[in-house]
Amino acid sequence: MVVAVYPGTFDPLTYGHMDIIERALPLVDKLIVGVYENLTKRPLFPLEQRLRLVEEAVSGLPNVEVKAFKELTVDFIHRVGGKVMIRGLRAGSDFEREFDMALMNRNLAPDIEVICLMTSSQYQFLSSTLIKEVAELGGCLEGMVPEHVAVALKERFSMPTKLATGKGKM
């Protein structure tokens, strides 16, 4: 049985993340979405809320689990019985960082393979950082994040419904 882990902070979860999750599923027997508790990044959403948002987004997908972790990613992968780390790449700038991390992880845990999936073209521009900025400034998030994530962002920034979903009254 091939168990893979897709780690990230998912602050917030985007359709780019969902694209990687859905495309990784046919490659493995079980996919664990590891939600990292990285306090140095000062997440917008607390860990428990990020877990709930990811769980809701993947609830209809087979063989997907969502778990929190705060140790080294390779240690988490070992703890859950994983053999593969899934990573998403958007552009050339992602490649350099992911390559460096893959080499470090290979040094720390040579038994774990890293599989990088290129994000589908319609999601190349998405990043959690940009999503937070758009949400904070009241921009429309339609097509960028799942609806329940847009609602959570709206609540976090106290935005009118129209700005979170592209629909409704101001």
Domains of the chain by range and CATH?
3-121 (3.40.50.620)
Task: Report the DSSP beta bridge partners of residue 33.
Answer: 6, 66
- Neighbouring C-beta atoms of residue 91, cutoff 10 Å: 10
The secondary structure of 83-108 as a DSSP string is: -EEEEEE-SHHHHHHHHHHHHHHHHH
The token pair at 163 is 């700005």
What was the pLDDT predicted at 41?
A: 77
pLDDT given at position 20: 97
Q: Would you state the pLDDT for residue 84?
A: 98
* pLDDT value at residue 92: 66
Q: What is the pLDDT of residue 162?
A: 47
* Cα–Cα distance, 22 to 33 (Å, whole number): 11
Report pTM.
0.89
What integer pLDDT is reported at residue 105 of this predicted model?
A: 94
Where does residue 159 rank: exposed (0-12), middle (13-18), buried (19+ CB within 10 A)? Answer: buried
Residue 32's DSSP bridge partners are 5, 65
Q: Could you tell me the mean pLDDT of each successive run of 10 residues in the chain, 170 residues long?
A: 97 97 98 92 93 98 97 98 96 82 95 95 92 94 96 84 45
pLDDT of residue 170: 34
Positions marked active-site: 17, 41, 90, 128
Contacts of 152-158 spanning 24+ positions with Cβ under 8 A = 152/12, 152/45, 152/49, 152/53, 153/12, 156/44, 156/45
